[in-house]
Amino acid sequence: MLAIFISVFIVMWMVLKVAAWYRSAGYKAPRKFTGAIEAMIEFIYKGVIKPTLGEQAPRFAPYLLTVFFFILVMNLLGLIVIFPGGANLTGNIAVTLVLSVITFLIVNIFGTKHYWKEIFWPDVPLWLKFPIPIMPIIELFGIFTKPAALTVRLFANMMGGHIIVIVLTLLIFILAVMGPVVTGATTVVSILFSIFMLLIDVLVSFVQAYVFTMLSTLFIALAQEKGHEEHKPLKQKQTNN
């Protein structure tokens, strides 16, 4: 719990630091750490959120950017073996489940009429919907598989990296009974491989935060689709103009 609150405060500090810069310096480009944070914000917003959500991007960007930085900070803190790190938060399925449930709620609460129509009465042959509602059952099941995939993907990837490091470290003690020569060689190899895996985990921390945000954006975008009937008034208005 302490690690979660620490992650929250770090994310707040990072975001407010960028906001404070623009309040004081206008549109002058920030440098150093603030510039790095702004670059990540631009990368996620213009590379993932805006192209996927289009005009709906400003509506959902605050949540998506928050979840990206929150997961990233938790991932990186989990790689630090001393305080304030050491807690593998995203390697805890309860944490990843809560994040996935939040995405699940946003997707379904803000889903359009067309989204719900495609779930309960999709555009497929009638015999797939009546008398046995095969497709509606499959579509309804898909609502719950999406957050499940988000939960397991993040949890498994982050837990897997930590397990490999722990196993490599335990080899030192397991092979200690084979003599000092074997123990010394095992220690060197295990430490080198552990450092290598930790460096890989730094990259994985960014990748998994990006993937979770990208999938959440995609799921939200799919729920924001509009049917042909909803597009007609807009097309008529453009034609009249």
* 233 confidence band (pLDDT: 50, 70, 90): low
- Kind plus residue range of the DSSP H or E element containing 175: none
Cα dihedral value 132, 230, 108, 155, nearest 10: 100
Whether residue 12 is predicted with pLDDT greater than 70 in this model: the reply is yes
- For residue range 90-101, what is the model confidence (pLDDT) as tens digits? 989 999 999 999
* 26 confidence band (pLDDT: 50, 70, 90): confident
Whether residue 234 is predicted with pLDDT greater than 50 in this model: the reply is no
Residue 240 is predicted with a pLDDT of 53
Q: Stretch 209-238: mean pLDDT, rounded?
A: 76
Whether residue 204 is predicted with pLDDT greater than 50 in this model: the reply is yes
CA distances from 28 to 3, 18, 22, 167, 236 (A): 34, 12, 7, 48, 42
Cβ 177 vs Cβ 127: under 8 Å: no
Q: Any idea where the domains of the chain sit in the sequence?
A: 2-228
Whether residue 57 is predicted with pLDDT greater than 70 in this model: the reply is yes
Whether residue 194 is predicted with pLDDT greater than 50 in this model: the reply is yes
Q: Stretch 198-211: mean pLDDT, rounded?
A: 89
How would DSSP label each residue in 22-84? Answer: HHHHTTPPP-HHHHHHHHHHHHHIIIIIHHHHGGGHHHHHHHHHHHHHHHHHHHHHTT-SSTT
- For residue range 172-189, what is the model confidence (pLDDT) as tens digits? 777 767 777 777 777 887
pTM of the model: 0.84
Whether residue 219 is predicted with pLDDT greater than 90 in this model: the reply is yes
Cβ 77 vs Cβ 7: under 8 Å: yes
